[in-house]
């Protein structure tokens, strides 16, 4: 029940971030829903396909379709209250990657995968919905820029396994690991921390 709640919260966060991007691109209602949908389920779909969990999660539970639809409708109706769209997008996207990282790790553990593979799976779950969103919206995906994005998911995944030996309560473990991802992402943006570039600035 707790895992499903985390999954739904991550779905809501990503769906709203997708709506905000689509509205910035001035898409019609259909386009807004499609972007919300692929942002919310893209990473999880890739995750389930890779571990052979088919049909994928949203095909087996109509709750996710309903949640995405309601989250998209909420974001559209209250768009005037989301005054700072960039800030809102960043917030919901950050919450989404934190929650989906731990969900992906848990799915990997259930599939009896190696911890490193679980971290990779968690990172993919968290990031690839945003990658699909950005590609469809003709943007360079955040994960491919210098921003601390996937790195936050990896560190959160490492913290998950470091704490696994000390915390018996998995619910606390999920919350702490997700909070690590969110905190690192927030701090990176606040203090303008970026990964080093491989290219020197041309004069």
**Which two three-digit tokens encode residue 131?**
């990658």
Containing H/E element for 48?
helix 29-51
- Backbone φ, ψ for residue 168 (5° rounding): -80, -30
Residue 31 exposed, middle or buried by CB count within 10 Å (0-12, 13-18, 19+): middle
What percent of the chain has a predicted confidence (pLDDT) above 70? 94
Report the 3 state secondary structure along 154-165: HHHHHHHHHHCC
As a whole number, mean pLDDT of residues 11-19 equals 93
What single DSSP character describes residue 42? H
Cα gap 166→169, rounded to integer Å? 9
As a whole number, mean pLDDT of residues 35-60 equals 96
Query: What pTM, to 2 d.p., does this model score?
Result: 0.90
Average pLDDT, rounded, for the chain? 91
Cα gap 108→133, rounded to integer Å? 24
Whether residue 35 is predicted with pLDDT greater than 50 in this model: the reply is yes
As a whole number, mean pLDDT of residues 142-164 equals 91
Task: Output the pLDDT for position 201.
Answer: 56
Task: Output the pLDDT for position 83.
Answer: 58
Nearest to 18 by CA among 41, 42, 37: 37
């Amino acid at each position: 029940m707790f895992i499903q709640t985390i999954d739904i919260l991550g779905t809501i966060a990503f769906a709203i971030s997708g709506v905000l991007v689509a509205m910035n691109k001035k898409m019609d209602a259909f386009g807004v829903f499609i972007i919300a949908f692929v942002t919310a389920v893209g990473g999880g779909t890739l995750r389930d396909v890779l571990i052979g969990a088919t049909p994928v999660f949203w095909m087996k539970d109509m709750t996710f379709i309903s949640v995405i639809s309601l989250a998209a409708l909420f974001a559209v109706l209250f768009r005037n209250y989301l005054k700072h769209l960039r800030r809102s997008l960043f917030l919901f996207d950050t919450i989404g990657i934190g929650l989906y990282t731990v969900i992906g790790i848990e799915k990997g553990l259930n599939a009896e995968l190696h911890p490193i593979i679980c971290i990779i799976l968690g990172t993919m779950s968290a990031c690839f919905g945003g990658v699909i969103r950005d590609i469809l919206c003709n943007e360079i995906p955040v994960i491919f820029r210098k921003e601390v994005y996937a790195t936050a998911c990896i560190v959160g995944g490492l913290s998950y396994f470091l704490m696994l030996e000390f915390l018996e309560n998995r619910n606390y473990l999920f919350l702490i690991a997700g909070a690590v991802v969110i905190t690192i992402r927030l701090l990176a943006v606040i203090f303008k921390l970026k990964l080093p570039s491989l290219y020197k600035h041309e004069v």
